[in-house]
Structure 1
Amino acid sequence: MDMQTIDVLKAFVRSKLREDQSGHGMDHIERVVRNAQKIIQTQACDEFVVVAAAYLHDVADEKLVEDQEKAYQEIKEVLQVNGVPVEKIEHILYIIKNLSFSQEFEGKKTELSIEGQIVQDADRLDAMGAIGIIRTIYYGGHKGNKIYDSAIKPRLLQNKSEYREESTVINHFYEKILLLNDRLNTPYAKKIGKQRQEFLEKFLKEFLEEWE
């Protein structure tokens, strides 16, 4: 794997996300990369594509940027300047455009390569367990969402516009986070996901008992 290019990408991502206050900062990116590197050891894949996509996966996230197409173009340019072959650039861009949870609404789930599945699993694992709990609460506070309201019931989301509508922090666990475990791809991620799911369920049970 071309570590020099990976180091350039890492610096590029840090420059873009250094001021993030939504739970998608560089600490999140580094955990996703570490998750991906662990999964790589269990799967035959293009390691460079996985690690590059893991570093870049939030740079053009619509939640974080005003001009998503401009962000994609900047990613493409930094890869081109560093001599990444066209087919790998296209593969990396395809992964980061199609790994998000919101892609699965309205029958729009996109088939991902094994590289894409690894990055998706690595990202989803960081939304689960203890880290996932902290990130969900942190993001909810960032957006100004209420912690909990028993009168506001969790929704069965049908489309991306509903998904982008704000709800309570606790509802977000039921509307998204608890659903991730059944959507993991690789055996390694499923093993870790099971442990994190159990921790999350215990947390929510304790939270609701204390709240009431």
Structure 2
Amino acid sequence: MSAHRQAAYEAEVLRHWHGNPDGAHDLAHLRRVWRNCQKIARAEGGADLEVLLAAAIFHDVVNLPKDAPNRAEASRLSAELAARYLAQTDFPADKIAAVAHAITAHSFSAGIAPETPEARILQDADRLEALGALGLARMFYVAGALGGGLFDAQDPLGQNRPLDDRAFALDHLEVKLFRIAETMQTAEGRALAEEGADWMASFRTRLLREIG
């Protein structure tokens, strides 16, 4: 049943994306977040996987650009769309609010505290996508899409200038990504986040050595 539901959810998301998602928020991203959810849920216990599946697949169904002025509304709009869709299916009506809260609270920009196990797990599962090798790939992809550079060749670490992750992708590590582990809601999520952040730090060390 879960595989059937996942396929239906994915089809609905693709319909709203008009078959043209961005490379950092595509179907593979949704599936990885769902896998992360399951991994964290197994370690933490006490989560409703039926709620988590729907929340994971629909969490980015409304995907506003990073530089959109209403970017902070994306998770709320995604939650509302997911709730409307689920209400028309055989999904348990008493669980729809839990799905909507998890989706709304997952976002950095929304600034909403997760209040349920599912919301905490989804937030951690999505934030793990910003770390490790995959996080670096997505970071550089988004920076390029927004017209930013790789790094400041004269001062790559921003030691003598203000950090600006809109101008330089590498600045995003200090501005946001290295801080993610501190924001994790679960013990399993925090452990995975720290591992990913350590890998990114080692990549930056190698990069600095190569660029001199």
Q: TM-score, normalised by structure 2?
A: 0.82
Deviation at residue 143 of structure 1 after TM alignment: 1.1
Task: Report 1:58-137 matches (<5 A).
Answer: 58-63=60-65, 68=74, 72-104=79-111, 109-137=112-140
Deviation at residue 193 of structure 1 after TM alignment: 1.7
2: distance between equivalents of 1:180 and 1:38? Answer: 18
Q: Give the counterpart letter for 1:84 in structure 2.
A: F
1:37 aligns with 2:46: no
RMSD (Å), alpha carbons: 2.5
Unaligned runs of 5+ in 2: none
1: distance between equivalents of 2:124 and 2:195? Answer: 14
Deviation at residue 73 of structure 1 after TM alignment: 4.2
Deviations 1:47-95 (A, max 9, x none): 1111110111111243379895765543222111112233322221121
1:50 aligns with 2:52: yes
Deviation at residue 129 of structure 1 after TM alignment: 0.2
C-alpha contact 1:9 1:78 (8 A) present in aligned 2: no
Match of 1:160? none
Q: 1:175 to 1:70 in 2, by over 3 A?
A: closer
Q: Give the counterpart letter for 1:28 in structure 2.
A: H
Percent of residue pairs identical: 26
1: distance between equivalents of 2:39 and 2:203? Answer: 26
Q: TM-score, normalised by structure 1?
A: 0.82
Q: Give the counterpart letter for 2:98 in structure 1.
A: H
Deviation at residue 187 of structure 1 after TM alignment: 2.0
Unaligned runs of 5+ in 1: 156-164
Residue 95 of structure 1 aligns to a residue whose secondary structure is helix
2: distance between equivalents of 1:134 and 1:59? Answer: 21
